[in-house]
Amino acid sequence: MKLLRWQWRGPMQLPAFQLAFNQLLNHTARYGITHMLADTSTMPPVGPREQAWLSEEWLPRSRIMQLQHLALVLPGSLHNQLVVENVVNDGRFYLDVQVHFFSDDYSALDWLANGEAVVAAMEQEWHNGRARSQSKVQFIGR
């Protein structure tokens, strides 16, 4: 299993939003990621330009990913939940991936990792990386 975990960390304008998602696509393709935990719980409001860019430009390019399992931690706002669900529905045309929605990252990671010891080690790695990182989007790959 090749797992990539990312979490949204703070507000972004469209150029930074595009850069973050392009980095996500590049990391996923470069390292052959098959499992992903996407924590969107702290995502700021996603505007119509960001949503359109994801659905119209980013998703068609996402075909290069080998993703098989996606655990999504849903955002707190109803608006962003609807945005995430719409993007996931649009993504079904481009990716054959099993998607599950979660309310917390621990449950999402447990579904992906399927083992308490693995989850505990990954949680520690994630928290260590967060302490060192100042970027808006954090990636941890395994």
Domain ranges of the chain: 3-141
The 10s digit of each residue's pLDDT in 55-78 is: 999 999 999 999 999 999 999 899
Q: How confident is the model at residue 2 (pLDDT cuts 50, 70, 90)?
A: confident
pLDDT at 12 (0 to 100): 78
Q: How confident is the model at residue 133 (pLDDT cuts 50, 70, 90)?
A: low
Tell me the mean pLDDT in the region 90-103. 93
Average pLDDT over the chain reads: 85
Q: How confident is the model at residue 13 (pLDDT cuts 50, 70, 90)?
A: confident
pTM of structure: 0.79
Q: Are 117 and 2 in contact (CB under 8 A)?
A: no
Q: Is the pLDDT of residue 14 over 60?
A: yes
| β partners of residue 39 | 7, 73
In whole angstroms, give the CA distance from residue 94 to residue 56.
11
121: helix, strand or coil: helix
Sign, Cα dihedral of 60, 88, 101, 42: positive
